[in-house]
Amino acid sequence: MLTEEAHHMFVGETGVGRTIQRTCEAMKAAGIEDPFAIDKIRALGVIDLPTIQKKLNLHYSLTLDLFGAEISTNSANFYNAGLKGRFGETKIDDDHVLTNAVYPVLKLVDGKIAKVDEPALTALNMRLRDDYSEDCAKGVERWNRIIQKEGVNFRLELPHVAFNRKIGEFRNVNVTPKGLILGDADWAKVRDDYLPSSSDGEYLNSLMTGHFGVGEYAGWIAAPKVGIDNKPGDFEYVRIAA
């Protein structure tokens, strides 16, 4: 059984970090300074940083939808019943009843994105989502430090919380990662700049080939600094009987 740390190393934040590192290393080795020279970078068999940004945009926005609507009476009822809490509830310095408390919520007001104070009880989903976004931002900065250390001029960013939403306040509007509201026609023109296109998907799928040699890793991801349970990189974790 993989430990939690091992799972985190191979498929979580560290796995993405290793992918970013490999891309930057390949760019440097090939003398490519422009991170938007996508064709040249893909010719190296690695995942270009703009595509990683688009994948970040997609999965972050999809995950925000999992928190549900920003304003929810169900979440308030669950909280009052002791079935739901805020992140770090025991460390929050208030009465934990929230009868008169308010919490700022981003909403669509007269066609514009505005911050509105709402009863804290019904805004529990929003607070949980904000805590999640704060944690995500820290992870993105760790990725950016890898890029900076490799000397590549590029920064990954979390998109605006209204971007690509299917649930909640912004489900019926087109919003760019910078928070600009667009009409349907204008959005159609730029959609592939912000979200993975079919051609992006085809390229990523082309990289998904098996590598079964001991200590062997795909060319688009850097080797881990240490193996599972501190084993060496060429440790034979799985042995398949003939």
pLDDT above 50 (res 6): no
Note the pLDDT of residue 210: 85
pLDDT, tens digit, 9 for 90 and up, residues 65-121: 999 999 999 888 888 888 888 888 888 888 888 888 999 999 999 999 999 999 999
Q: How much is the pLDDT for 57?
A: 98
Domain boundaries, the chain: 4-230
CATH class of 4-230: mainly alpha
How would DSSP label each residue in the chain?
---HHHHHHHHSHHHHHHHHHHHHHHHHHHT---TT-HHHHHTTTS--HHHHHHHHHHHHHHHHHTT--SS-HHHHHHHHTTS---TTGGG--S-SS-SS-EEEEEEEETTEEEEEEEETTTTHHHHHHHHHHHHHHHHHHHHHHHHHHTT------PPPTTTT-SSSTTTTSEE-TTS-EE-HHHHHHHHHHHS--HHHHHHHHHH-----STT---TTSPPPSS-GGG--TT--------
Does residue 233 surpass a pLDDT of 80? no
Q: How many CB atoms lie under 10 A from the CB of residue 235?
A: 12
Write the pLDDT tens digit of every residue in 167-197: 999 999 999 999 999 999 999 999 999 999 9
pTM of the model: 0.86
Q: What is the pLDDT of residues 118-169, one digit of tens each?
A: 999 999 999 999 999 999 999 999 999 999 999 999 999 999 999 999 999 9
Which pLDDT band holds residue 7 (cuts at 50, 70, 90)? very low
